[in-house]
Structure formats: C-alpha cells, structure tokens
C-alpha cells in the first residue's frame, strides 16, 4: 500500500498524462474493467475503465481522465489517478 | 566440467493443510537424498527457492531455516525470481558446480500457499508484477487475460483452442499420483466453468498449491545419472504493459537461443518439454517463443494431440502447472525432475518412449525472468 509520501510524490506528476488519447491494444474484465492502450505519446498504459464506458474493444479510442482511485478511510489521504474513458 | 542429476523427489502437490513449510522441506529433501543414495552430511551447498514465505509467514532468512532443519552449516542460498525461482535455483547450483568449487549441490523448491484465502495470495503474487500493474487493480489472471484477448484476436482463434491445452494437461495429471488434480476434464467442464478474467476461465488458470521438490546435482558421473546439456537465464522488463508485443516473451526467446547454443542440441533432437503453463495461453506462447511452433500456431500442439505423452512432441507430461499444481517455487524443480524421471524411464503410465533429451522452461511473472534447463541421457 502506498504511503502518504508515495501518494504525494505520484500526485506531482498527475497532470502529465491527463487528456492524452490512445488506442486499445487489449482489455479484460478482472475484478475491474481494465484496458491496455497505446497512447499518442507512444507509451503503453494499463488503467481501469470508467464505469460509464464498461467494456472496450481492441482498436477503440480512449482518453485519460482524472478519477479518485479508492475510497480512503478516515486517516488516509484521498488518492487520485487516471482511468480510461471511451471517446468516439 | 559436466553436471549430472543424481536423484530427486516431489511431494504431493495440493491443499496440504496438515503439512507446514518445514514439513515439506524435510519430506522432499529426505526422500531426494534417499533416491540419490547420498547422506545430508555429504552435501556441499544448498540452493532453496521460495517466493512467498516473507509475505505469508513474515519469514525471511529461509536459508537459515534449512540449516536448522538438517543441522548443517554449509552455504545455503535462497533464490527468488517469482515463479521462476525453482528453475533459477537449479541454474545457480549448475553454475556453482561448473565452477569446480563444489562437487555436489542440493536444490529445493518449496511453497506453502493454502494457509490463507485465495484473495490474499493473489495480492501477494502481484508482487511479481509492476507498481503500475498493481495500481490498476489487475490480478495475474488479468495480465495473462490481456495476452489471451489480444492473441485470440490477432490469430483469429477461439477459446476452444485454449480448452485443448487444459484437457491435455489434466489427462497427464490423471496419470500422475503426485498431481494436485489427478483427474481428467472434458470440453463441457471447460465451457461450463466460471470466467476468472475474460476470456480466461477457471480451467485456464493454474491453481494455488502447496508442495516441494528437491533434486541432487553432482559432478561425478554415476551409472544412473542424467546430464545437464545447458542451463540459461534471461530477463525482460517487470511490466508486461510496457512491452512492444505482449503476445511473446523476449526472455524465453533469448534463453532459448542461448540454451541451444550452449548445448549444441537442435530443436528436432528434443524428445519432450515441460513448459510454464501458469495459464493455458502461456503454454501456447512458450511453444512459439521456444521455436517449436510458428507464431499463431502453438495451439496446434494439443489440437493435433502432438503434445500428449504418446505424441510427436510431448508437453507437460507431469500435468503442467494447471493440473499438477503450481506451488510457485517448487514448479521449476518439479519440471526438471519430471524430465529426469522420463529419461530414466520411471514415469509408468505417462512414460514417453525413448525419452533421451528434455527441455524445461520456467517463467517468472509475465516473462520478467525465463530459465531453460536442458537434460540429456
């Protein structure tokens, strides 16, 4: 589990990939809906899919959006991260 | 310097609630020493493979644990490379003997995984994956499901081809009394099983098992010994997601090339294989990455029954990880012991005819580590 310090360190870079678009390489429904996409900056990212998008297909276009990544307990820092959202 | 196997022993793999980690170590080593006709006092160095004891039991320093069990003070080294721990431990023992500094070595692979609920174990297993992969909430089944999803789409095949792999491995396991699941399955069992991570279902996934396996290596040729033709390790990035092509493991390809180069053996000389089928798709990838089947055609090995013990190129006569079981660090050692037993003609109902040269491929994570051991008569 990330410490508060790790979460802070990660949060400094959160702006970098927001809004970035990509193409789905593969996906699965594990405990969550998850996709692997090749982004327009040539990097690959593995992220959950936002609940509104549900399943994606190989070749679908996605963009990165900001989401809360887990429900924090009373003493934890609220953690934000990326998820994929399908775009047309 | 040539390196031989003198003997070995595998415990039953399964849910062994009455056996502790120490029990499994003691049982596998005691019977392996008996098989090799060697006293523990004559063993010069021990390599012990174990991945999860630190997380499950808060037990590090496993090598020292072994010292206490057998009351020896020799060098004992713990080796960890996720699911490749066993194969890599054998590789390290092989290198130690090749150096001439030791005349014999004991290799133990042990894993005790069933004392906790599967969900917790699944989380611990994700320590073999990257931080990003863990943050996504994906499991190992999910990572291999990503591979399967892409593979099925790229090569236009259906999950029925995955079913054939599982059916074949269960058939072999039904002939191996040490296996976790010593029973056959059919296509209906496969089709009716629950999805774990689409498109992989229960019968595509190797189980969580307890078990241990121990083998003795030596440099002194005995009448009944089998020789190492080669032992090679290669690595790749811890993250599957970051790789150029998720449907092949560069680590297997590189280790494979180095193995054939070191041994001077050609693929056509190989009589049988033990490959890393942590998930059915992984067996297909292994056969292709090892160069035995063209890309996109690995599924044919089971479809055409070539991979059955009586077929052209038997694969996983032990039952593989799927049906023999997958106590993580014991698997790599079990694979090599299976080759040893096949070459010595000790496999009874699943005996491969004229087994002379065998290849074992053991993978860590999603191909972050690959180790290949080739044995010959």
* pLDDT-based confidence at residue A59 (cuts at 50, 70, 90): very high
Q: What's the confidence (pLDDT) of residue B8?
A: 98
* pLDDT-based confidence at residue A1 (cuts at 50, 70, 90): low
Q: Which of A7-11, A28-32, B266-270 reaches the highest mean pLDDT?
A: B266-270
Which residues from B are below 8 Å from A25, CB to CB?
150, 246
Specify burial of residue A42 (Cβ count, 10 A radius: 0-12, 13-18, 19+): exposed
Shortest CA gap B150–chain A (Å): 6
A54, pLDDT greater than 80: no
Residue B340: asked if its preceding bond is cis (omega within 30°), the reply is no
* pLDDT-based confidence at residue A8 (cuts at 50, 70, 90): confident
Q: What's the confidence (pLDDT) of residue B224?
A: 67
Task: Give the residue among B80, B335, B342, B302 at the shortest CA–CA distance from B215.
Answer: B335
- Tell me whether residues A28 and B198 touch, CB distance under 8 A: yes
Catalytic residues of B: 83, 326
| b/e code B221-231 from CB counts within 10 Å (16+ = b) | eeeebbebbbb
Residue A68 contacts B where some CB pair is shorter than 8 Å: no
Residue B246 contacts A where some CB pair is shorter than 8 Å: yes
Inter-residue contact B201 to B158 (CB < 8 Å): no
Residue A32 contacts B where some CB pair is shorter than 8 Å: yes
Which residues from B are below 8 Å from A47, CB to CB?
136
Inter-residue contact B6 to B36 (CB < 8 Å): yes
CA A56/CA A54 separation, integer angstroms: 7
Which residues from A are below 8 Å from B135, CB to CB?
69, 81
CA B145/CA A87 separation, integer angstroms: 24
Inter-residue contact A20 to A63 (CB < 8 Å): yes
- Tell me whether residues B241 and A58 touch, CB distance under 8 A: no
Largest Cα separation within chain B, whole Å, is 57
Collapse the DSSP code of B63 into the 3-class scheme (helix H, G, I; strand E, B; otherwise coil) and give the result.
helix
Which residues from A are below 8 Å from B150, CB to CB?
25-26, 58
ipTM: 0.92
Where do the DSSP E strands lie in chain B? 4-10, 46-49, 76-79, 104-111, 195-197, 200-201, 211-218, 226-235, 272-274, 357-364, 369-376
- Tell me whether residues A32 and B137 touch, CB distance under 8 A: yes
Residue A47 contacts B where some CB pair is shorter than 8 Å: yes
Residue A50 contacts B where some CB pair is shorter than 8 Å: no
Distance in angstroms between the alpha carbons of the first and the last residue of chain A: 35
Task: Give the residue among B317, B245, B252 at the shortest CA–CA distance from B290.
Answer: B252
Task: Give the residue among B315, B287, B317 at the shortest CA–CA distance from B299.
Answer: B287
Per-residue pLDDT of chain B (377 residues; tens, 9 = 90+): 999 999 999 999 999 999 999 999 999 999 999 999 999 999 999 999 999 999 999 999 999 999 999 999 999 999 999 999 999 999 999 999 999 999 999 999 999 999 999 999 999 999 999 999 998 999 999 999 999 999 999 999 999 999 999 999 999 999 999 999 999 999 999 999 999 999 999 999 999 999 999 999 999 987 767 999 999 999 999 999 889 999 999 999 999 999 999 999 999 999 999 999 999 999 999 999 999 999 999 999 999 999 999 999 999 999 999 999 999 999 999 999 999 999 999 999 999 999 999 999 999 999 999 999 999 99
Distance in angstroms between the alpha carbons of the first and the last residue of chain B: 16
CA B40/CA B50 separation, integer angstroms: 20
Q: What's the confidence (pLDDT) of residue A15?
A: 87
- Tell me whether residues A47 and B137 touch, CB distance under 8 A: no
A73, pLDDT greater than 90: no
Residue B243 contacts A where some CB pair is shorter than 8 Å: yes
Q: The whole model's pTM is what? A: 0.96
Q: What is the dihedral of CA A55, A57, A63, A69, to 10 degrees?
A: 30
CA B95/CA B105 separation, integer angstroms: 10
- Tell me whether residues A29 and B197 touch, CB distance under 8 A: yes
């Amino acid at each position: 589990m990330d410490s508060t310090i790790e979460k802070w360190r990660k949060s400094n870079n959160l702006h970098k990939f927001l809004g970035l678009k990509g193409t789905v390489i593969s996906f699965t429904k594990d405990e969550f809906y998850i996709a692997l996409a090749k982004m327009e900056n040539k990097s690959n990212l593995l992220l959950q899919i936002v609940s509104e998008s549900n399943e994606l297909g190989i070749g679908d276009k996605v963009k990165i959006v900001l989401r809360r990544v887990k429900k924090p307990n009373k003493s934890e820092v609220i953690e934000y991260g990326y998820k994929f959202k399908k775009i047309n | 310097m040539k390196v031989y196997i003198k003997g070995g022993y595998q415990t039953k793999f399964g849910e062994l609630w009455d056996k502790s980690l120490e029990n499994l170590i003691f049982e596998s080593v005691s019977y392996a020493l008996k098989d090799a006709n060697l006293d523990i006092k004559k063993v010069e160095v021990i390599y012990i493979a174990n991945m999860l004891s630190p997380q499950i039991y808060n037990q590090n320093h496993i090598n020292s644990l072994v010292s206490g069990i057998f009351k020896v003070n020799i060098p004992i080294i713990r080796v960890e490379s996720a699911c490749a721990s066993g194969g890599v431990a054998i590789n390290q023992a092989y290198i130690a003997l090749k150096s001439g500094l030791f005349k014999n070595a004991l290799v133990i692979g042990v894993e005790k995984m069933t004392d906790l609920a599967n969900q917790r174990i699944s989380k611990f297993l994700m320590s073999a994956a990257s931080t990003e992969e863990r943050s996504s909430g994906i499991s190992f089944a999910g990572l291999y499901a990503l591979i399967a999803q892409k593979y099925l789409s790229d090569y236009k095949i259906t999950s029925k081809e995955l079913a054939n792999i599982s059916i074949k491995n269960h058939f072999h396991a039904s002939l191996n009394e040490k296996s976790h699941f010593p029973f056959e399955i059919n296509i209906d069992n496969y089709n009716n099983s629950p999805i774990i991570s689409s498109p992989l279902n229960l019968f595509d996934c190797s189980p969580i098992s307890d078990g241990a396996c121990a083998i003795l290596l030596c440099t002194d040729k005995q009448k009944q010994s089998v020789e190492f033709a080669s032992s090679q390790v290669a690595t790749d990035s811890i993250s599957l997601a970051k790789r150029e092509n998720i449907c092949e493991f560069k680590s297997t390809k590189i280790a494979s090339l180095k193995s054939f180069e070191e041994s001077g053996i050609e693929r056509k000389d190989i009589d049988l294989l033990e490959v890393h089928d942590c998930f059915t798709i992984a067996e297909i990838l292994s056969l292709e990455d090892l160069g035995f089947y063209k890309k996109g055609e690995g599924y044919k090995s089971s479809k055409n029954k070539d991979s059955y013990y009586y077929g052209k190129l038997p694969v996983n006569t032990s039952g593989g990880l799927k049906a023999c079981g997958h106590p993580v660090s014991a698997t790599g050692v079990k694979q090599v012991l299976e080759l040893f037993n096949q070459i010595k003609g000790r496999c009874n109902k699943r005996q491969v005819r004229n087994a002379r040269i065998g290849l074992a491929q053991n993978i860590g994570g999603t191909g972050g580590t690959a180790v290949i051991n080739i044995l010959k008569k």
